A and B are shown apart, each in its own frame.
Chain A
Amino acid sequence: AQSVTQPDIHITVSEGASLELRCNYSYGATPYLFWYVQSPGQGLQLLLKYFSGDTLVQGIKGFEAEFKRSQSSFNLRKPSVHWSDAAEYFCAVGPRGLMNRDDKIIFGKGTRLHILP
């Protein structure tokens, strides 16, 4: 079965500290991979995506993610978090290429990031 697991529901880090949010997936073939961020009361904004090539991808707001095929993981990282990074983060996987009728993008349940001053 296709699924996305974000094992941490909540994570708290101090401002200026490094961050890693975990994401593991189960999918029939190597999917497209995404990270989205949702600030309170807002919609989901795309942070970064992985399609192919370099397994370390850079996104907006200083975030990066590394695709590890052997571990079926796509963890999100940031070297130094800012108070404005407090939000909920969603990992997602989707099919390659044009979507067939039964293809869907699958989201994890999210990780809420709290920042300590």
Chain B
Amino acid sequence: NAGVTQTPKFQVLKTGQSMTLQCAQDMNHNSMYWYRQDPGMGLRLIYYSASEGTTDKGEVPDGYNVSRLKKQNFLLGLESAAPSQTSVYFCASRGFETQYFGPGTRLLVL
């Protein structure tokens, strides 16, 4: 049972490049989330999805887009990366009550 997996684990981008962070869960959870974690800021919610096909903005959605075409997958896109998007990104899924986190993707934008 893999739980929540994220790819890639580490990525370096140049300003203006685009990329997609991938998240998959095998727990048949309805809800999935994307957070970013920066020093001293805790976890900030970027986007979330209450069910397949639905997405909603969180606290810091600017510069990101998401896609939830399949229940088990939640994709986070950066259309034009900026240095301010250097961060650690965590995906999570939630079943009835508890949220489970992936191992994170460390992103560096130069």
Contact = CB atoms under 8 A, between A and B. Distances in A.
Interface of A: 9, 32, 34, 36, 42-46, 49, 51, 90, 92, 94, 96-105, 107-110
Identify whether the interface residues of A are mostly helix, strand, loop, or mixed: loop
A15 to B, nearest CB: 25
A90 B41 CA distance: 12
6 contacts: A46-B98, A90-B43, A94-B99, A96-B97, A107-B43, A109-B42
B39 to A, nearest CB: 10
A23 to B, nearest CB: 13
B103 interface: yes
Nearest to B4: A43
Interface stretch (B13-21, B48-56, B64-72, B76-84): B48-56
Interface string B87-104: 000101010111111111
> 9 nearest interchain CB pairs?
A109-B42, A44-B101, A43-B101, A43-B103, A101-B50, A107-B43, A110-B42, A43-B104, A105-B99
Given A90-B42, A99-B30, A110-B42, A105 B94 contact: yes
A32 B102 contact: no
Of listed B43, B48, B90, B104, residue having the most chain A CB within 10 A = B43
B99 A92 contact: yes
B100 to A, nearest CB: 7
Given A51-B97, A104-B58, A107-B43, A44 B90 contact: yes
Contacts of B25: none
B43 A34 contact: no
Contacts of A36: 101
Contacts of A45: 101
Given A43-B102, A44-B90, A107 B42 contact: yes
B42 A100 contact: no
